[in-house]
Chain A
Amino acid sequence: MFDRLEIFALASARAQHAAARQAVVAQNIANSDTPGYRAQDVSDFAETWRALQSRAQEAGDHIPLRSIDAGTPASPNGNTVSLELEMLRGIEAQRAHSRALQIYGSAMSILRTSIGR
């Protein structure tokens, strides 16, 4: 019953996805004044999770991520970063990350309770 605990895999993949997304947001914001830079985003978690499921037993600590163009309109110097949108994405990633960690932590405390500690 406890040989594969799906919830831990799910929560940890979600946290990794949020961390990767935050790294992309950091890149976009750092390049918000670089001429010709195109804003990027990562594929959403549903797609990432499906890809992770399909290569189930494969070892590897990196989760499969596809970087996509954010598709925002370009400013005159060819830069497509919108600071407001990136702020929003950063906060989304932060919330998703803390949610995943909370789920991980409470699943862990259920396990601890079940063994009487």
Chain B
Amino acid sequence: MTDFSSALGVAASGMRSQADRIRHVSENIANADTPGYRRKIVSFEAMRGTEAPLGAVQPGRVALDRSALPEVFDPGHPMADETGHYLGSNVDLVVELADAREAQRSYEANLRVFDQVRQMSSSLSDLLRR
């Protein structure tokens, strides 16, 4: 029974982490046209703490993408310098969409495991009912 509860906890931690990741993706996409916005990157790590079930995962610290911001030519823009350029954001929509799709896929895998474990534990308790 402890295997089941730890498996449920681990699958839930995976779903939480993927949900956090997709939230950062949506922040990036929402700010794709914000001047000077740097893309946020989140990486996963093993969950720490005494309460955490063995093998659980948590999102790590948010890092900012250090790649250069593109210079956009728009002399009419309020933030444009004397050459008519301003710094855009380094969000690449294609990369964000790929990341969102990967997060969705991993989330579904975790959900599937959660469902399997739930079925297994309910068939175990069915033994008592006979």
Binding site for B on A (CB under 8 A): 15-16, 18-20, 22-27, 29-35, 37, 83, 86-87, 90-91, 93-94, 97-98, 101, 104-105, 108-109
Question: Residues of A contacting B117 with CB < 8 Å?
Answer: 22-23, 26
A17 to chain B, nearest CB (A): 10
Cβ of B127 and Cβ of A35 under 8 Å apart?
no
B120 to chain A, nearest CB (A): 5
CA A15 to CA B123, docked complex, whole Å: 11
B side interface size, CB within 8 A:
38
CA A105 to CA B43, docked complex, whole Å: 45
Question: Residues of B contacting A23 with CB < 8 Å?
Answer: 3-4, 6-7, 10, 55, 117
**1/0 per position for B15-31, CB-CB distance to A under 8 A?**
00110010000000000
Question: Residues of B contacting A29 with CB < 8 Å?
Answer: 11, 14, 106, 109-110, 113
B108 to chain A, nearest CB (A): 9
Known: A30-B110, A97-B120. 12 other contacts (CB 8 A): A22-B120, A23-B4, A23-B6, A26-B10, A27-B10, A29-B14, A32-B14, A33-B18, A34-B46, A83-B109, A105-B130, A108-B130
Q: A83-B109, A91-B116 are in contact. Are A30 and B124 (CB under 8 A)?
A: no
Q: A23-B6, A101-B124 are in contact. Are A94 and B109 (CB under 8 A)?
A: no
The 8 closest A-B pairs by CB, nearest first: A30-B14, A27-B55, A26-B7, A23-B7, A19-B3, A34-B44, A23-B3, A26-B10
Question: Residues of A contacting B123 with CB < 8 Å?
Answer: 97-98, 101
Cβ of B11 and Cβ of A30 under 8 Å apart?
yes
Cβ-based interface call for B57 (8 A)? yes
